[in-house]
Amino acid sequence: MSEDRAPSAAFVRNAAGSLACESTELRALAERHGTPLYVYSAASFRGRYRRLGAACREHLAGLDPIVAYSVKACSSLGILKRLAAEGCGFDVVSGGELLRVARAGGDLGKTILAGVGKTDAELELALEAGVFQINVESAGELARLDAAAKRRRVRARAALRVNPAIDPKTHPHLATSAPTSKFGLELDDARGALAAPERFPNVEFVGLHLHLGSMLRDAHLWEEAFERIAPLLALFPGGSPKTLDVGGGIAIGVGSEPELAPEKWLTRIGPLLRRVGARPILEPGRWIAAPSGALLTRVLDVKNAGGRRIVVVDAAMNDLIRPALYGAVHPIELAARVERAPRAVDVVGPVCESGDFLGKNITLPDPQPGDLLAILDAGAYGFSMASTYNSRPRAAEVLVEKGGDVLLRRRETFDDVVRGELL
């Protein structure tokens, strides 16, 4: 892993050739906690957050930016607690995520409630908690927020999430600004709301919100989006919003494709934000979390099928759904260095679905039953999207920190899976 891609070097091989998280061998973690197992690096989470903060101080000095970590990327309370201690803000998309931030000691005054389908209960919870702002995604939601604020006898701080209707040049499931996307208001609808604020007397329009998509590598996309929202800026008091949420979505490195370095990204959008003069909000969930975590899994069986070498492991799509959901590619490595001939294999799980694969055509030293594999770049949208499909208990989560390891979440049991069900 290059310095540009993962400055904290979360997962590297030690002098003995064993893959380690920081200085702790993955084999030791698997023996201690079992598999499947999510492993996170505290140094990587902190290092990537601090790197982004340093880039903000350089390119957005004087604008007092908020780095609002997207909780949906990796929502473990232990991770949130450590980011909160760094002074991080949070981007939440449900009442449950808001409660997670509160329980982890996060600053609710630096927390933004987003999401396309907020319930009235979630709106009232956010108002009661005193979140920094609520990003509104439809005219109907705006009316419901106004009513909720009236019931609570407060004035809601709202930013309008607008859809600039541009092609974000990413996977369709990761695109949030395509013309037919479910996310955000069309520009004309946003213009109508801003031009008649008297219709929403219990709402203060404080800003705009853009989110173009995920795994974006072209910084020019934000320039195009800024051009499209420019006519809306003058509709705010004083000719400028107080806040401008430019989303996240900056890509990590995948294979030969480099990450979109935050320094490069901010070099391009920094002048645009300065021209607007609003307080910037950044949502770098995946960029912080993905390289900071890995999923460990044990090889159960190896077989041939139609000329393909199939490696069956004890992790599955219920543990990591990204490859099946949108063709995500994760580096996969053997945890131990072995002297075997390399060969192309498909890494699959035990779930009863043809789509249950974790990697296809992956070149590895010929895997054998009992081998430990590490699926890298799995810190974002890994455990947070896990399920108990096929009645499979969810994996444990472990954080490596200061030479030791901390259990963040115990492995579920079958009793956990059926808890809450009635006969």
Q: Which amino acid is at 19?
A: L
**Residues, the chain, total?**
423
What is the per-residue pLDDT for 6?
Answer: 38
What is the per-residue pLDDT for 283?
Answer: 92
What is the per-residue pLDDT for 350?
Answer: 98
What is the per-residue pLDDT for 359?
Answer: 97
65-283 topology per CATH = TIM Barrel (3.20.20)
Q: Give the integer Cα–Cα distance in Å for 114 and 268.
A: 25
What is the per-residue pLDDT for 223?
Answer: 81
CB proximity list for 112: less than 8 A, separation 6 or greater = 66, 68, 89, 90, 91, 92, 131, 132, 133, 134, 135, 159, 245, 281, 283
Beta carbons within 10 angstroms of residue 419's beta carbon = 9
- Contact (CB, 8 A) for 10 and 22: yes
- HSE-CB at 110 with a 13 A cutoff on CA atoms is 24
11-41+291-418 topology per CATH = Lyase, Ornithine Decarboxylase; Chain A, domain 1 (2.40.37)
What is the per-residue pLDDT for 87?
Answer: 97
What is the per-residue pLDDT for 398?
Answer: 98
CB proximity list for 60: less than 8 A, separation 6 or greater = 266, 270, 273, 274, 280
What is the per-residue pLDDT for 258?
Answer: 78
The 10 Å CB-count burial string (b at 16+, else e) for 244-262 is bbbbbbbbbbbeeeebbbb
Q: Do domains 11-41+291-418 and 65-283 have the same CATH topology?
A: no
What is the per-residue pLDDT for 105?
Answer: 98
CA distances in angstroms from 12 to 2, 21, 306, 333, 398, listed in the order given: 11, 7, 35, 11, 17
What is the per-residue pLDDT for 178?
Answer: 59
3-state DSSP of the chain: CCCCCCCCCCEEECCCCCEEECCEEHHHHHHHHCCCEEEEEHHHHHHHHHHHHHHHHHHCCCCCCEEEEECCCCCCHHHHHHHHHCCCEEEECCHHHHHHHHHCCCCHHHEEECCCCCCHHHHHHHHHHCCCEEEECCHHHHHHHHHHHHHHCCCEEEEEEECCCCCCCCCHHHECCCCCCCCCECHHHHHHHHHCHHHCCCEEEEEEECCCECCECCCHHHHHHHHHHHHHHCCCHHHCCCEEECCCCECCCECCECCCCHHHHHHHHHHHHHHHCCEEEECCHHHHHHHHEEEEEEEEEEEEECCEEEEEECCCCCCCCHHHHHCCCCCEEECCCCCCCEEEEEEECCCCCCCCEEEEEEEEECCCCCCEEEECCCCCCCHHHCCCHHHCCCCEEEEEECCEEEEEECCCCHHHHHCCCCC
What is the per-residue pLDDT for 383?
Answer: 98
Q: Which residues are catalytic?
A: 352
The tens place of each residue's pLDDT in the chain, 423 residues long, gives 333 333 347 999 999 999 999 999 999 999 999 999 999 999 999 999 999 999 999 999 999 999 999 999 999 999 999 999 999 999 999 999 999 999 999 999 999 999 999 999 999 999 999 999 999 999 999 999 999 999 999 999 999 999 876 765 554 555 455 566 777 788 888 899 999 999 999 999 999 999 776 666 677 777 888 888 888 998 998 788 999 998 877 878 777 777 878 898 899 889 999 999 999 999 999 999 999 999 999 999 999 999 999 999 999 999 999 999 988 999 999 999 999 999 999 999 999 999 999 999 999 999 999 999 999 999 999 999 999 999 999 999 999 999 999 999 999 999 999 999 999
What is the per-residue pLDDT for 3?
Answer: 32
Domain regions of the chain by residue span: 11-41+291-418, 65-283
Dihedral of alpha carbons 225, 329, 256, 6, sign:
positive
CA angle 45, 316, 323 (to 5 degrees): 65
- Contact (CB, 8 A) for 330 and 322: yes
